[in-house]
Amino acid sequence: MRKLGYIVHKIDVLSEWSGRVLFLLILVMVGTIMFEVVSRYLFNRPTMWSLDASTMVYGTYMIGAGAYALLHGAHIKMDLFYARWSKRTKAIVDACTFPLFLLFCSILLWKSGVYGWQSFMRLEHAVTAWSPPIYHWKMTVPAAVLLILLQGVSKFIRDLTFAVSGEELK
């Protein structure tokens, strides 16, 4: 049990850390958009790169924050029923639905990995006027899905332990 607790703790720390680092991307996105607004409306000199840059940064933030959101219970649940259940019933249901989560994440990891790798092998660029490289952005999807999958395993271990023993994993 102690080793499981250690593993769960390390995964949780990784998810917490990645979420805090990814928060900084919001500041980058806001700065990029503010730069575009000032350039466009104050100096009448719009940029051709700000839309692409802010879209890539925001996309990375959104997919990358999934593990952090899972760690803090921020994903949507069917609260009509779920909110009324005891903590142990919630743990049992969450543990029973883990195989669906695992299947979904595994397929998403596989497909996004192939997609990202193909983009990386071609050194793909966007088809816009700015034409930035996008292969590294496409590789963030499988990396983020891997983080979500790890956090899901952590949650499953925690739920299964509580469902079986009635005690939280430390």
Residue 106 lies inside a defined structural domain of this protein: yes
Residue 14 lies inside a defined structural domain of this protein: yes
Asked whether the beta carbons of 159 and 70 are under 8 A apart, the reply is no
Residue 24 lies inside a defined structural domain of this protein: yes
| Global pTM exceeds 0.75 | yes
- 152: helix, strand or coil: helix
Q: What pLDDT does residue 129 have?
A: 87
Asked whether the beta carbons of 115 and 138 are under 8 A apart, the reply is yes
Q: What pLDDT does residue 124 have?
A: 95
Dist. CA 111–CA 94, nearest whole Å: 25
Q: What pLDDT does residue 21 have?
A: 93
Element (H, E) at 9: helix 2-41
Q: Work out the average pLDDT over 36-43.
A: 96
Asked whether the beta carbons of 159 and 95 are under 8 A apart, the reply is yes
Q: Work out the average pLDDT over 22-36.
A: 94
- Domain containing 101 equals 2-165
Number of domains in the chain: 1
Residue 170 lies inside a defined structural domain of this protein: no
Interval 55-98: pLDDT, tens: 999 999 999 999 999 999 888 777 788 888 899 999 999 999 99
